[in-house]
Amino acid sequence: MSASVQAHIFYSGMVQGVGFRYTVVRFTQGRPLSGWVRNLPDGRVEVLVEGERAQVDTLTQNVEDHFKTQITDKKISYAPAQAQFRDFRIVR
C-alpha cells in the first residue's frame, strides 16, 4: 500500500459552467478518495483531494482526459494526507 497524499489542484480554462465539479465528484465515486471541489471567483476550479497517490493520479488523469479541450492550465502541489475528510463533495 502506498502512502496517502493530499493534492491541491487549480484548473484554469473553460472549467466553470460545463459540469466540471459534478464530473470530478462522479470520478471519485467508488474510489478511496476524500476532499472537495469548488469554483473560484476568478474562473478557476480548486480541488483538494486525499488518497493513495495512484488513486489521486487516476482521478486527475480522468478529469484531464474528459475536459482536455476546456483545461488550459493546471497547478498541483502535494503534501502528506491530513485525513480530515470523510467523503468527497462540492463546497461553496
Across the 92 residues of the chain, what is the mean pLDDT of every consecutive 10-residue run? 88 97 98 98 98 97 97 98 95 93
pTM of the model: 0.95
Angle among Cα 11, 46, 64 to the nearest 5 degrees reads: 35
3-state secondary structure of 88: strand
The total number of residues shown for the chain amounts to: 92
Residues marked active site are found at 21, 39
Q: Distance between CA atoms of 26 and 9, rounded to whole angstroms?
A: 17
Q: Which pLDDT belongs to residue 1?
A: 52
Fold classification of 4-90 (topology level): Alpha-Beta Plaits (3.30.70)
Q: Distance between CA atoms of 33 and 43, rounded to whole angstroms?
A: 25
Q: Which pLDDT belongs to residue 3?
A: 80
Q: Distance between CA atoms of 17 and 32, rounded to whole angstroms?
A: 27
